Structure 1
């Protein structure tokens, strides 16, 4: 079932109404992502205000999700002695059958689980949905006297939860962000039609055809003998017939006339046993048209064939939906803030959690943004941009700015916010954030050096790229000594003019979007969000998301980043048992053995989860933990730059038939990148760098150039962690080639020269016209010499003013010509990454020992010995982002 967005508060209000002190605690299963953590913070804040008990259980993959279901969900079922309850899956389970994963389908035992009483709320941003969760669970199976009977649930129509629905009966309820009702109409009709259809396959038709042929063969001799007997009887009757048969002969001759239509007699065949109707005994009028008999009813086999065809059609609709690939929709933290807003309980803490969660999704390579235009050619805001505008309005509403601050901000427009207004200021503000990494906690040089956007476009992996960065700073008037200082301690005049300097020289280095532009929508397009904790600190939402993500990927101990064991996401069991516990999606042979984990290994999932969860707290204690983990984020950024530069400089990225491939087997950061989250960030950096290189060579628009597969060796476990990005990076889309840059500069020069020549020609014509007018006025004696001199002076002033006005007009009209966009592929908001489907297909074809346990299906683990065959099988598939 799915819950429309307008009814989110209704479901929560029913939970508050039915919960009492003896009710079981609400179970919250949360994935290890910053967006999921922020959504959990908003939900727990609502639950605490309503005095509802809850328990948070972090899950890093499907195996841990299955164990959590066995531990927490099954004891709530009525079959196990429970009274029912609610399990909330935040950022987990949207792509699989949750009742099967959590064990609520009764497949493992003989107990009927149709009325278990456990409701599972699914809040996930990954797509595509598992349609069994979305449109299923709307019918309950009840045992009756005549066997099992299917009963439709009240308040549920075609999977949609209606306002009349009363929770508490169990089942899966998916929270809709608006996509299900607007885009999944065809899939809904196909799914509901398949539910009512009987199971039938082509094998059933083949078996039925063979049985019917056997019956025909058995009856054929008797039927032929009867036909022979009928023919002999007819011949004997014709020979011995008398005049009594004269009435029948004209009718037979009339039937033999080929020019006359032969209607069927309503009285039936006279030689058959069919009785004549009364109408047949009445005399027929000449030329009367006799109505034909009703059409023959189709056979059972033809009906089954039509049913099979219709079933194949509906199955093809669902298959097309599932094969579009994976991507992200609206962040779940935004959904949670919508719930708080509907309940009227939104505040700055919840708003800040939503902003941080949405900022983390923008940093993810799996969140692909597609620019769309309407029929008039104007650009249409995508969903993420619309959400940002709503958040900006919320910031203005909940954080009103004093008048003196408005006057002060106008004088310092374009300067990023680095301090609070007062010692007790905890407000959220808008700030023109540049695309620098941790600029408030690093020097300007290091922040620019480790920025993925800037480093990939300046080719930082080479000496020429470092010199290019130094040259950019020199053009901006920033010395290396000044850039090496902490940004907080830089010269104030330099910080106030930094944005204008970057805007002036950034286009020369393909850095058009390095800082927010001047003419954005409402003047705030691209602006970020910052929050202050008094004079203690002021952090941006992107910095908070970066630090929290580093805690999940590097570890909770900021002083020992090199001690992050590869068992960070390994439960306390062997590799083989972990593979066997994987319920979905399909995986390879489960009889593979791997090195067993030590029994004393810590629970890295819970340790890192709660460290990041506490760091996201809006209190001062959370701020202290957040600031303490800044070195972890800086260490991860250095490792990404170091390893990515080595892969590019040593040309270890190979271009296969349908994607690019790289392997990290040695180096100081191999242990770090065995974590899937860190490897995804490295893959995003490499993918963007490769896309920039291809774009600068004039190869934009080639399919498969952005698709990248990156593998890292986990020596301790003997496996490779493999991640596939199918066009997730958008780096090369806004990069101009060298030829385009030269052509653009030449076009600007030609336009400037043409405008200068036109201004000169207009000035000459104006001067000649004025001179002829003066001559006429002198001839008529209308002016004297003094007036002439004054008039000449005013003319020169007017000429200068007109020239300056023409210059201003020319500069205003000197707008850049909109470049023709690359032909956009039709899509429905998902389908950006097809590596998850490709990985599963290769496993089935090659039999490689692969473990697919991550909620991101494009992240897998492959045994060390099977990596070659796995990549070879993958290279033969057409994987396009």
Structure 2
């Protein structure tokens, strides 16, 4: 069931018992977790935090930590699964779901006691009525058997048989309608409101919010925008709401806040202003940032020789010498740094890079700590996806969590350097694929298989970089293709996941023309696997990401093409 009053029906209910926090490996989930941790710390609450990468992780984490636990909070995980059926919890256990994945499982929505979904149902989420998908016919059958035993007359039997036939026909009709309704409801997978935003709003209603919390909510919403998880209209609305919260918290009168908060406000400053949406440009060189940002790379076609020439022309026309553009931004001449945004704005129309002119939130702490929200997101994504044989994913999760701490700048800086490597690898791989024309058409969708043996392949063993690569390539393909249908085609990208056991990773993204990014690949992957008896690992909470055996990939793609034809 949905819980709309989070303070009364969630926070007060969990205050007296130790909680189990199961948190998915994504930036929004980490930000929501960080806000909850701050609230728990302020109220001296005890909790256990376990990061979970997939469904098997979640089941294992619950089984290992469920003793003496009454409240389980699931952040960006579990909402699309029948939790009671999957985890078989004791009757006293209550699950609180804070999940941006959609659609929710109907058993969770209509659970009356053990499952509580935090927040209200989305306006455009067409949830079926209870009676359309749940039905109990056992009482009718019992009544029929009892009447047959008590009355042996043939007339009565005939009438009851006719009633039984009618009931069976009704049940068959209801089952067919139910299958259609469930298919329509679960056909597309998509994302809802940021979980970090939802938790921040709860803290605000409880009058326990502060500038740190609003910053974490900003980072969570920024991740959704960068990875195209939600439509741009919702991102703009969230941005406006967060800007009003920043303004309110910054301008609180001295009498309304305690001394600690006054001191905090004197050293933390969050600004919302016009900015360039170039990746990491304050911590990189101007040339590298222009090359590795998707809008400029696509508009200038930087994967081609002509694109490189246009980039040099742009820098020259801006009056930015190559020597300056290849220095770290912070080392450039002060005048050039101050005028850089105006230089770009002046030529944005001519070079068709208008989309990089926007607004952003920036956090400043002291003299040396100044980062915009997208810097933090790229840093956290790179840290989160840097696991290896030597470094466990759980360690990467905790490092990504530390990126949100103002006192651990070294981890954040390390993340920024990793993010540069990640973005460079994405660009180089996209450039190679676009130049070699490795994008194939399966009729109803496009697909790419990343060749083995590349030095950057280790980056694409992880879901987030592979999704970012797919989005970059699809935008570039649509922008440069002469085919009018190109904007209508979704894209599937696959790369080696684990060479030792011969598995590959596969992601599907919706078409470029979809402003509301809803993907049909979750259900399509599932059906294609059934049709071919392929053993896919649909372990991720995002159903559009799967793993499967490399030798079964060609057969699976053929089945997918036949299914979507």
State the Cα distance separating 1:470 from its structure 2 match: 0.6
Is 1:722–2:506 an aligned residue pair? yes
Contact 2:466–2:493 (CA under 8 A) maintained in structure 1: no
Structure 1's 627 and 117: CA in aligned 2 closer, same or farther, altered over 3 A? same
Q: 1:681 pairs with 468, 473, 498, which one?
A: 468
Structure 1's 401 and 654: CA in aligned 2 closer, same or farther, altered over 3 A? farther
State the Cα distance separating 1:184 from its structure 2 match: 5.1
CA distance in 2, matches of 1:693, 1:477: 28
Structure 1's 39 and 713: CA in aligned 2 closer, same or farther, altered over 3 A? closer
Contact 2:21–2:75 (CA under 8 A) maintained in structure 1: yes
Is 1:128–2:107 an aligned residue pair? no
Q: How do residues 267-666 of structure 1 correspond to structure 2 at under 5 angstroms?
A: 299-323=163-187, 325-365=188-228, 367-369=229-231, 382-400=233-251, 425-516=267-358, 527-555=359-387, 564-565=388-389, 604-617=392-405, 619-620=406-407, 622-664=408-450, 665-666=452-453
State the Cα distance separating 1:539 from its structure 2 match: 0.4
Q: 2:23 pairs with 24, 27, 30, which one?
A: 30
Deviations 1:532-555 (A, max 9, x none): 120122000110011011001124
CA distance in 2, matches of 1:333, 1:43: 9
Structure 1's 850 and 361: CA in aligned 2 closer, same or farther, altered over 3 A? same
State the Cα distance separating 1:693 from its structure 2 match: 1.3
What TM-score, normalized by structure 1, do the two folds share? 0.58
State the Cα distance separating 1:657 from its structure 2 match: 0.9
State the Cα distance separating 1:319 from its structure 2 match: 2.4
3-state SS in 2 of match to 1:538:
strand
Q: 1:117 pairs with 69, 74, 92, which one?
A: 92
Q: What is aligned with 1:862?
A: 548
Structure 1's 849 and 131: CA in aligned 2 closer, same or farther, altered over 3 A? same
CA distance in 2, matches of 1:183, 1:687: 27
Contact 2:6–2:202 (CA under 8 A) maintained in structure 1: no
State the Cα distance separating 1:87 from its structure 2 match: 0.5
Is 1:690–2:532 an aligned residue pair? no
3-state SS in 1 of match to 2:348:
helix
Contact 1:186–1:317 (CA under 8 A) maintained in structure 2: no
Q: Identify which range, 473-482 or 354-363, moves more after superposition.
A: 473-482
CA distance in 1, matches of 2:441, 2:192: 30
Q: What is aligned with 2:81?
A: 96
CA distance in 2, matches of 1:626, 1:26: 29
CA distance in 1, matches of 2:486, 2:447: 19
CA distance in 1, matches of 2:230, 2:486: 16
Q: 1:39 pairs with 16, 21, 32, which one?
A: 32
CA distance in 2, matches of 1:103, 1:659: 39
Is 1:843–2:522 an aligned residue pair? no
Q: What is aligned with 2:115?
A: 172
CA distance in 2, matches of 1:32, 1:401: 35
CA distance in 1, matches of 2:500, 2:135: 51
3-state SS in 2 of match to 1:316:
helix
Contact 2:379–2:412 (CA under 8 A) maintained in structure 1: yes
State the Cα distance separating 1:663 from its structure 2 match: 1.2
Q: What is aligned with 2:42?
A: 49
Is 1:70–2:66 an aligned residue pair? no
What TM-score, normalized by structure 2, do the two folds share? 0.89
Structure 1's 26 and 702: CA in aligned 2 closer, same or farther, altered over 3 A? closer
Contact 2:298–2:475 (CA under 8 A) maintained in structure 1: yes
3-state SS in 2 of match to 1:666:
coil
Q: What is aligned with 1:195?
A: 134
Gaps of 5+ in 1: 77-83, 105-112, 139-169, 209-214, 220-295, 371-381, 403-421, 517-526, 556-563, 566-601, 734-823
Q: What is aligned with 1:877?
A: 563
State the Cα distance separating 1:434 from its structure 2 match: 0.8
Structure 1's 686 and 41: CA in aligned 2 closer, same or farther, altered over 3 A? same
Structure 1's 668 and 345: CA in aligned 2 closer, same or farther, altered over 3 A? same
CA distance in 2, matches of 1:474, 1:9: 60
Gaps of 5+ in 2: 146-151, 254-263
3-state SS in 1 of match to 2:454:
coil
Deviations 1:291-318 (A, max 9, x none): xxxxx99734224423442443344223
Structure 1's 359 and 194: CA in aligned 2 closer, same or farther, altered over 3 A? closer
Contact 1:59–1:605 (CA under 8 A) maintained in structure 2: no
CA distance in 2, matches of 1:876, 1:711: 22
CA distance in 1, matches of 2:303, 2:401: 35
3-state SS in 2 of match to 1:101:
helix
3-state SS in 2 of match to 1:120:
strand
Q: What is aligned with 1:3?
A: 3
Structure 1's 835 and 132: CA in aligned 2 closer, same or farther, altered over 3 A? same
State the Cα distance separating 1:874 from its structure 2 match: 1.4
State the Cα distance separating 1:401 from its structure 2 match: 11
State the Cα distance separating 1:14 from its structure 2 match: 3.0
Contact 1:177–1:335 (CA under 8 A) maintained in structure 2: no
Structure 1's 479 and 177: CA in aligned 2 closer, same or farther, altered over 3 A? farther
Deviations 1:532-586 (A, max 9, x none): 120122000110011011001124xxxxxxxx44xxxxxxxxxxxxxxxxxxxxx
**Number of positions where the alignment pairs a residue of Structure 1 with one of Structure 2:** 543
Contact 1:683–1:710 (CA under 8 A) maintained in structure 2: no
CA distance in 2, matches of 1:605, 1:508: 45
Contact 1:355–1:541 (CA under 8 A) maintained in structure 2: yes
CA distance in 2, matches of 1:330, 1:342: 17
Structure 1's 13 and 513: CA in aligned 2 closer, same or farther, altered over 3 A? same
3-state SS in 2 of match to 1:876:
helix
CA distance in 1, matches of 2:431, 2:311: 15
CA distance in 1, matches of 2:265, 2:307: 42
Q: How do residues 725-874 of structure 1 correspond to structure 2 at under 5 angstroms?
A: 725-727=509-511, 730=512, 832-874=518-560
State the Cα distance separating 1:707 from its structure 2 match: 2.7
State the Cα distance separating 1:631 from its structure 2 match: 1.3
CA distance in 2, matches of 1:688, 1:30: 31
Q: What is aligned with 1:699?
A: 484
Structure 1's 687 and 193: CA in aligned 2 closer, same or farther, altered over 3 A? closer
Q: What is aligned with 2:261?
A: none
Contact 1:32–1:58 (CA under 8 A) maintained in structure 2: yes
Structure 1's 657 and 476: CA in aligned 2 closer, same or farther, altered over 3 A? same
State the Cα distance separating 1:635 from its structure 2 match: 0.8
State the Cα distance separating 1:9 from its structure 2 match: 4.0
State the Cα distance separating 1:603 from its structure 2 match: 6.9
